[in-house]
């Protein structure tokens, strides 16, 4: 096996002090003929020269719609080519891109469109069972009787333009192509003027965090936040302009539009997009056909690829590195990604939307043991501390507490929500993650659970992550999720949802006996349920609160919960 590609952690980030448009222009100058954006399923291949030209053309189009520096532009779409163009075009004129989860339904769309003060909405018509035009008309009935650019909606006083990213627009809207035609009337001097207004510290993106309760919060991220995160996460993978990054994760999420698109542009690497949304076979096709060197995904995505029936016999020798992040990464899955997929320099990343997003990441040169047992160490320029959640006291190595971070990645704050901002970032600039962690003496970190996920059974603190990792060592278990459910005697009891590997069987008693052999009795799940799938977010995070709700309803535990 060849030696891992070397990295220089002490190098000064060339993107420091620059804006996104400046970085794209420089990358296009350095690597004009290199692939920038590749959608193999669509037969689309765009060089960095062409991509930069498309971004400028779209920026002219935004000017033609009257969109100004600092205004908010929302996008509600799957992974389509114009998503990436719009991301950089909005930054080109100093507009703030508002990312809307394509899984949102009308109620959620109404909230974010209003809360974000967006002046324009870009969207696709439909994907699978989601009809975006219909949902938009449901929350904005005024659109059907409006002329393009003259929308006056009661619930969205700032919204003026609806732009379809495909060839058909809803009544009252225009298509992307029509916007580009209008762009011809805008002189190049408008972009020169825009450049003078851009500053690295200005907000350029709003990411809505996916909370389990209440409305999502709008994290404001700057040019500098995103570019430095892109620089360092690519550095940890030893990216160069010869790398080709397979991005099956959604663009609306930081994983796709920071670690994916921005990291690639910073390093001059190619962006390879397998499909509109994740599909394991399409992802493996893209890796093989386009000779991808890096692969991104959450654990559930990697599991799906490892279980895909088309995997045997594929030529994936090009694959070298990547990032697994977004949710706790099971050790056994990590080993298979290295041994079976061949991503020998795969890295683990940990972070939060509010941190742009990566805080810690393993390095491609780290020993396998480090990469499978930790979430790496801090990115350069980021600080962290572990504090007692109850007292706020700083803890030492090997002591579990809440991970707090500060540095170049920390968001500017939550849009129109100073109270939530103050609760998340303390007076000294520390972002409180809500995650339980411990720092090892070698400077690497382990994430041990969420503070809110902790189960207290009869006075014993139980961290579900520990039990999940143990369940993964059972030869029949493909995936597991552990939650706490109400109990009259112990206040909480443990519940494990388990998905078995194809062709494998197990019984509830077998799973419990397996746990009893190695875990303390209070850590043995009382409830064990075998499932074919888990409730998940679009990014593949298991929604444990839904598992809890379903178990409460199924076992009549409502009375215990309120007792």
One domain, residues 459 and 442: no
pLDDT of 404-426, one tens digit each?
Answer: 999 999 999 999 999 999 999 99
**Which backbone phi and psi does 148 adopt, to 5 degrees?**
-55, 130
CB-based contact 247:256 (threshold 8 Å): yes
Six token digits for residue 474: 């059972």
Residue 337 sits in a domain whose CATH number is 3.40.50.12780
Helices (H), 213-340: 223-236, 254, 261-267, 280-290, 299-307, 331-336
Strands (E) in 88-226, as ranges, are 96-100, 118-123, 126-127, 130-131, 161-164, 174-175, 203-208, 218-222
pTM of the model: 0.86
In the chain, % of residues over pLDDT 70: 97
In a domain, 24, yes or no: no
Contacts 24+ apart (CB under 8 A), 285-290: 285/40, 285/41, 286/40, 286/41, 286/246, 286/248, 287/246, 287/314, 287/316, 287/318, 287/319, 288/314, 288/315, 288/316, 289/40, 290/38, 290/40, 290/244, 290/246
Rounded Cα distance between 307 and 111, Å, is 38
Coil/strand/helix, residue 134 = helix
Residue 155 sits in a domain whose CATH number is 3.40.50.980
One domain, residues 411 and 543: no
The answer to whether residue 364 scores a pLDDT higher than 60 is: yes
One domain, residues 343 and 482: no
Residue 548 sits in a domain whose CATH number is 3.30.300.30
3-17, 400-414, 442-456: segment of lowest average pLDDT: 442-456
pLDDT of 53-81, one tens digit each?
Answer: 999 999 999 999 999 999 999 999 999 99
User: C-alpha angle 204/206/210, rounded to 5°?
Assistant: 155
Rounded Cα distance between 353 and 368, Å, is 27
Helix (H) or strand (E) holding 349, with range, is strand 345-351
Q: How confident is the model at residue 214 (pLDDT cuts 50, 70, 90)?
A: low
Six token digits for residue 230: 């892109």
In a domain, 8, yes or no: no
Q: How confident is the model at residue 480 (pLDDT cuts 50, 70, 90)?
A: very high
Rounded Cα distance between 88 and 73, Å, is 12
In a domain, 418, yes or no: yes
Rounded Cα distance between 324 and 240, Å, is 19
One domain, residues 293 and 335: yes
More confident residue, 521 or 414: 414
Domain limits for position 264: 257-450
One domain, residues 486 and 530: yes
**Which backbone phi and psi does 247 adopt, to 5 degrees?**
-120, 85
Q: Which of 204, 126, 114 has its CA nearest to residue 159?
A: 114
- Rg of the chain over CA atoms, in angstroms? 24
Task: Return the DSSP state at 121.
Answer: E
One domain, residues 425 and 519: no
Which pLDDT belongs to residue 562? 35
One domain, residues 169 and 63: yes
Q: At which of 450, 475, 496 does a domain end? A: 450
Which pLDDT belongs to residue 561? 47
In a domain, 300, yes or no: yes
The sheet carrying 72-76 orders its strands as: 174-175, 161-164, 118-123, 72-76, 96-100, 203-208, 218-222, 413-414
In a domain, 162, yes or no: yes
In a domain, 13, yes or no: no
Cβ contacts of 529 within 8 Å, gap of 6 or more: 495, 496, 497, 498, 551
DSSP assignment string, 404-417: EEEETTS-SEETT-
One domain, residues 526 and 504: yes
Rounded Cα distance between 166 and 19, Å, is 29
One domain, residues 445 and 514: no
Helices (H), 14-131: 20-30, 48-64, 81-93, 106-115
CB-based contact 120:65 (threshold 8 Å): yes
Rounded Cα distance between 439 and 288, Å, is 38
Q: At which of 198, 227, 248 does a domain end? A: 198
Which pLDDT belongs to residue 212? 40
In a domain, 419, yes or no: yes
pLDDT of 175-212, one tens digit each?
Answer: 999 999 999 999 999 999 999 999 999 999 999 986 44
One domain, residues 266 and 174: no
Q: At which of 198, 220, 241 does a domain end? A: 198
Q: How many domains does the chain contain in total?
A: 3
How do 345-351 and 358-361 pair as beta strands? antiparallel
Residue 24 preceded by cis peptide, ω within 30: no
In a domain, 299, yes or no: yes
Which pLDDT belongs to residue 326? 72
One domain, residues 35 and 139: yes
One domain, residues 372 and 469: no
Helices (H) and strands (E) in the chain, counts: 19, 28
Helix (H) or strand (E) holding 558, with range, is helix 558-562
């Amino acid at each position: 096996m060849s030696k891992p590609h070397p990295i220089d952690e002490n190098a000064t980030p060339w993107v420091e002090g620059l804006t996104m448009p400046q970085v794209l222009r420089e990358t296009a100058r350095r690597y004009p003929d290199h692939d920038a954006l590749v959608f193999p399923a669509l037969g689309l291949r765009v060089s960095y020269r062409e991509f930069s030209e498309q971004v400028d053309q779209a920026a002219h189009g935004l000017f033609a719609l009257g969109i100004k520096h600092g205004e908010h532009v929302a996008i509600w779409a799957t992974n389509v080519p114009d998503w990436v163009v719009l991301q950089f075009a909005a930054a080109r004129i100093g507009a703030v891109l508002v990312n809307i989860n394509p899984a949102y339904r009308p109620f959620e769309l109404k909230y974010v469109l209003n809360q974000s003060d967006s002046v324009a909405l870009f969207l696709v018509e439909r994907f699978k069972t989601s009809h975006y035009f219909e949902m938009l008309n449901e929350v904005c009935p005024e659109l059907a009787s409006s002329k393009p650019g003259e929308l006056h909606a009661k619930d969205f006083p700032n919204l003026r333009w609806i732009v379809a990213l495909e060839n058909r627009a809803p009544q009252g809207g225009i298509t992307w192509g029509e916007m580009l035609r209008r762009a011809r009337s805008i002189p190049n001097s408008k972009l020169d003027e825009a450049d003078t207004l851009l500053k690295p510290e200005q907000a350029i993106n709003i990411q809505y965090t996916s909370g389990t309760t209440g409305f999502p919060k709008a994290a404001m991220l700057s040019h500098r936040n995103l570019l430095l995160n892109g620089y360092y996460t690519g550095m940890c993978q030893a990216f160069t302009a010869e790398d080709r990054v397979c991005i099956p994760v959604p663009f609306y999420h930081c994983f796709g539009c920071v670690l994916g698109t921005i990291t690639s542009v910073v390093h001059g690497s190619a962006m390879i997009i397998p499909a509109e949304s994740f599909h394991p076979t399409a992802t493996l096709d893209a890796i093989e056909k386009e000779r991808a060197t890096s692969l991104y995904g959450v654990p559930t995505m990697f599991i799906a690829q490892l279980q895909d029936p088309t995997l045997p016999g594929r030529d994936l020798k090009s694959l070298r590195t990547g990032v697994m992040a977004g949710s706790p990464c099971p050790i056994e899955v990590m080993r298979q990604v290295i041994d079976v997929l061949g991503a020998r320099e795969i890295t683990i990343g940990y972070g939060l939307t509010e941190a742009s997003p990566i805080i810690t990441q393993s390095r491609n040169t780290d020993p396998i043991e480090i990469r499978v047992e930790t979430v790496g160490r801090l990115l350069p320029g980021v600080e962290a501390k572990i504090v007692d959640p109850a007292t706020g006291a700083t803890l030492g190595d090997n002591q579990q507490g809440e991970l707090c971070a500060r540095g170049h990645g920390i968001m500017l704050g939550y849009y129109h929500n100073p109270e939530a901002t103050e609760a998340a970032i303390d007076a000294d600039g520390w972002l409180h993650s809500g995650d339980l962690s411990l720092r090892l003496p070698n400077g690497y970190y382990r994430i041990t659970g969420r503070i809110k996920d902790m189960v207290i059974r009869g006075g014993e603190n139980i961290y579900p992550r520990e039990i999940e990792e143990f369940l993964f060592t059972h030869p029949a278990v493909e995936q597991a999720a552990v939650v706490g459910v109400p109990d009259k005697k112990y206040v909480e009891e443990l519940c494990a949802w388990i998905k078995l590997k194809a062709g494998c069987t197990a019984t509830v008693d077998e799973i419990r006996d397996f746990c009893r052999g190695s875990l303390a009795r209070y850590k043995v799940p009382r409830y064990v349920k075998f499932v074919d799938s888990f409730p998940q977010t679009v990014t593949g995070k298991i929604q444990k609160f839904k598992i809890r709700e379903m178990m409460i309803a199924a076992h009549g535990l409502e009375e215990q919960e309120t007792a």
